[in-house]
Amino acid sequence: MGDCVFCKIADHTISGSVVYEDDQVMAFRDLNPCTPVHLLIIPKNHISGIQEISEADGALISKIILVAKQLAKEFSIDEGGYRIVVNSGPDAGQSVAHLHFHLLGGQRMGWPPI
């Protein structure tokens, strides 16, 4: 997608603070973190949001969750706990139309998160 900022980070057209990358998935630091650890985990291919996920994407979504688990351990938030958040659509706060998972941790969080 030509104007998608996350696609541009994924293809290295623009820089991001990348903490993980393989052939399908990338993770980088959020520019406006709301917790001490705030990473964004994205599929490198463009999927605009949850509504575009298909049955064929099942292995990719599973991989993203496993990457989140690995990063939680690497960033030492696995034992205290962490949150994985996916916003779907503008009313939910999705500001970039590229599927992304927020990995949040490093502090005690309340509920509900609103």
Q: C-alpha 108: how far from its chain's center?
A: 20
Question: Domains (ranges, CATH) in the chain?
Answer: 5-105 (3.30.428.10)
- What is the band of 112 on the pLDDT scale with cuts at 50, 70, 90? confident
Residue-wise pLDDT for 52-89, tens only, equals: 999 999 999 999 999 999 999 999 999 999 999 999 99
Q: Residues 12, 98, 100, 102: which is the catalytic one?
A: 100
Mean pLDDT confidence for 100-114: 90
Angle, CA of 102, 63 and 69, to the nearest 5°: 55
Overall pTM surpassing 0.85 (yes/no): yes
Active site residue 100: yes
Q: Single out the residue of 82, 84, 90, 21 nearest to residue 51, CA to CA.
A: 90
pLDDT of residue 79: 95
pLDDT digits (tens, 9 = 90+) for 6-58: 999 999 999 999 999 999 999 999 999 999 999 999 999 999 999 999 999 99
Banded pLDDT at 1 (limits 50, 70, 90): low
